[in-house]
């Protein structure tokens, strides 16, 4: 499995965007180099601006090589015809991202100081048009210090967005809060920040992955669902501004940033967790491949071979249908909760999808050819609802998830209107 699926699926996602990447001093400057590379890979143009302190940690030469543009450090840089780098650079930007943002740099922002080019440029930016995002990086004591926490509250009040921080090993050898986010996480946050927000204010509940139905403590029944589609939808819904809860069966996928994840194993646990979170959700999307049956009994200890050649006889009972239960709840029936079902079919996609939509009682049913998509990074979807049939042709699950979220947002806002 790729360690960073969120970093691989973004080619071209920032095409046409111009990002000013600011570096202030900190050991995390090495991550800014990787972040710069990912921004370029995602299609952005990147202008790097560094403080003198940042130049102690990484050279402007390295950042120029990675960004493909000469780096700015000094406010007295005479290259611009008008000698006003701070004005020109800030006005060209779709966003300014300062990562690492040191404690000192954040303190300078709070005070509106402009002693070198980077804070000067941040101060001079058109505040309502050019967003400022900060990726703090510092020792845990510096992070926890009341002065830093006070400064962070103030920069947010002054319009900046703070990304992170992470918890873990620090360059100084200590362990705690204050690590800068990884490059792929910064990229995910920036893409989410820049995305349109058609689901702002909506609470979205999603089930994803397989379920695991235990036979005994070491064996069970499951299926080949990877969870990738559901996780991609969770990410896309969060980017669209929703508050997202993801009920995940046993899968090996990182949680999309900003998404609340609840891990479950069996269908019954998934059912209980979903019911518990559905009471205040506005949209429910059931992508999980829930096991239809479970063993009628679960052995307390491992079932042993006894050498006789006899095989255990197994009886099954039906699992609760999570989607059908939620779709028949009073909130769904009254239109307060919009339910979306998935169907993994092996043939007759449209006919099967229409039948399943009626059977489950959901306004929107999304069909795909199950065996052709399990575990893969791409898929093709067929949306069946009152309007008829909408085809989302084969594409990455990332792109399909974004398109599906737009389709759902359009239908939900149509309901509200």
* Cβ-based nearer residue to ligand C5P, 7 or 283: 283
* Cβ-based nearer residue to ligand C5P, 166 or 324: 324
Residue 290 in the binding site for ligand C5P (CB under 6 A): yes
Residue 401 in the binding site for ligand C5P (CB under 6 A): no
Find out whether 302 and 218 touch, Cβ atoms under 8 Å: yes
Binders of ligand C5P in range 349-388 (CB under 6 A): 356
* Cβ-based nearer residue to ligand C5P, 210 or 241: 210
Residue 342 in the binding site for ligand C5P (CB under 6 A): yes
Q: How many CB atoms lie within 10 A of CB 198?
A: 16
* Separation in Å, CA 381 to CA 342, 370, 372, 414: 10, 11, 12, 22
Binders of ligand C5P in range 187-216 (CB under 6 A): 207
- φ/ψ of 364, rounded to 5, equals -135, 130
Residue span binding ligand C5P (CB under 6 A) among the ranges 104-112, 185-193, 314-322, 404-412:
314-322
Edge-to-edge strands, sheet with 95-101: 45-50, 18-23, 95-101, 132-136, 161-162
Binders of ligand C5P in range 210-269 (CB under 6 A): 267
Q: Where are the beta strands (DSSP E) in 93-202?
A: 95-101, 132-136, 161-162, 166-169, 175-179
* Cβ-based nearer residue to ligand C5P, 67 or 207: 207
User: Beta strands 95-101 and 18-23: pairing type?
Assistant: parallel
**Long-range Cβ pairs for the range 389-393 (8 Å, 24+):** 389/350
Say what angle helices 183-194 and 29-41 make with each other, to 10 degrees: 50
Residue 323 in the binding site for ligand C5P (CB under 6 A): yes
- φ/ψ of 72, rounded to 5, equals -105, 135
Q: Supply the minimum distance, in Å, between the C-beta of residue 345 and ligand C5P.
A: 8
Return the residue of 24, 45, 148, 319 that touches ligand C5P, per CB under 6 A.
319
Q: Supply the minimum distance, in Å, between the C-beta of residue 299 and ligand C5P.
A: 23
Residue span binding ligand C5P (CB under 6 A) among the ranges 48-56, 287-295, 309-317, 330-338:
287-295
Q: Supply the minimum distance, in Å, between the C-beta of residue 239 and ligand C5P.
A: 22
Find out whether 381 and 367 touch, Cβ atoms under 8 Å: yes
- Whether 172 is a known active-site residue: answer yes
Distance CA 389, CA 250 (A): 32
Q: What's the number of CA atoms in the CB half-sphere (13 Å) around residue 369?
A: 13
Find out whether 259 and 248 touch, Cβ atoms under 8 Å: no
Q: Supply the minimum distance, in Å, between the C-beta of residue 403 and ligand C5P.
A: 18
Residue span binding ligand C5P (CB under 6 A) among the ranges 165-173, 221-229, 280-288, 373-381:
280-288
Beta-carbon contacts of 255 under 8 Å, excluding residues fewer than 6 positions away, are 231, 246, 261
Return the residue of 6, 341, 354, 382 that touches ligand C5P, per CB under 6 A.
341
Residue span binding ligand C5P (CB under 6 A) among the ranges 76-84, 104-112, 154-162, 317-325:
317-325
Residue span binding ligand C5P (CB under 6 A) among the ranges 60-68, 220-228, 339-347, 408-416:
339-347
Distance CA 243, CA 253 (A): 20
Burial class of residue 114 in the structure, from the number of CB atoms within 10 Å of its CB (0-12 exposed, 13-18 middle, 19+ buried): middle
Q: Supply the minimum distance, in Å, between the C-beta of residue 287 and ligand C5P.
A: 6
Task: List the catalytic residue out of 36, 55, 122, 172.
Answer: 172
- The residues of the shown chain that bind ligand C5P, judged by CB under 6 A, are 207, 267, 286-288, 290, 319, 321-323, 341-343, 356
User: Which residues carry out catalysis?
Assistant: 172
């Amino acid at each position: 499995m790729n360690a960073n699926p969120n970093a691989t699926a973004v080619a071209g996602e920032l095409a046409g965007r111009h990002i000013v990447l600011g570096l202030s001093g900190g050991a995390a400057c090495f991550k800014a180099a990787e972040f710069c590379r990912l921004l370029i890979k995602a299609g952005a143009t990147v202008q790097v601006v560094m403080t003198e302190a940042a130049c102690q940690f990484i050279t402007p030469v390295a950042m120029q090589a990675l960004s493909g543009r000469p780096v700015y450090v000094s406010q007295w840089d005479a290259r611009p015809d008008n000698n006003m780098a701070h004005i020109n650079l800030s006005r060209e930007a779709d966003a300014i991202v300062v990562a690492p943002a040191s404690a000192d740099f954040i303190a300078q922002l709070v005070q509106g100081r402009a002693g070198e080019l980077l804070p000067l440029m941040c101060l001079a930016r058109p505040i309502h048009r050019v967003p400022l995002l900060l990726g703090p990086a510092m020792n845990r004591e510096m992070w926890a210090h009341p002065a830093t926490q006070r400064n962070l509250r103030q920069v947010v009040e002054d319009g900046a967005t703070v990304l992170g921080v992470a918890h873990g090993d620090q360059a100084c050898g200590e362990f705690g809060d204050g690590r800068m986010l990884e490059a792929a996480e910064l990229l995910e946050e920036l893409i989410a920040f820049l995305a349109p927000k058609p689901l702002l204010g909506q609470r979205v509940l999603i089930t994803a992955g397989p379920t695991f139905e235990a036979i005994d403590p070491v064996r069970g029944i499951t299926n080949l669902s990877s969870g990738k589609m559901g996780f991609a939808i969770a990410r896309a819904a969060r980017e669209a501004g929703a508050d997202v809860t993801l009920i995940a069966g046993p899968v090996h996928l990182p949680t999309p940033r900003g998404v609340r994840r609840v891990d479950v194993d069996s269908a019954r646990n998934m059912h209980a967790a979903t019911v518990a979170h559905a009471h205040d959700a506005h949209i429910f999307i059931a992508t999980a491949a829930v096991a239809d049956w479970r063993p009628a009994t679960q052995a307390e200890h491992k079932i042993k071979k006894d050498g006789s050649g006899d095989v255990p006889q197994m009886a099954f009972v039906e699992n609760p249908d999570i989607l059908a239960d939620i779709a028949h709840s009073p909130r769904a029936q009254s239109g307060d909760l919009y339910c979306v079902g998935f169907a993994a079919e092996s043939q007759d996609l449209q006919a099967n999808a229409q039948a399943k939509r009626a059977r489950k009682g959901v306004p929107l049913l999304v069909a795909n050819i199950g065996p052709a998509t399990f575990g893969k990074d791409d898929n093709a979807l067929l949306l069946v609802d009152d309007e008829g049939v909408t085809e989302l042709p084969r594409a990455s699950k990332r792109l399909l998830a974004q398109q599906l979220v737009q389709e759902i947002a359009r239908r939900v806002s149509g309901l509200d209107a």
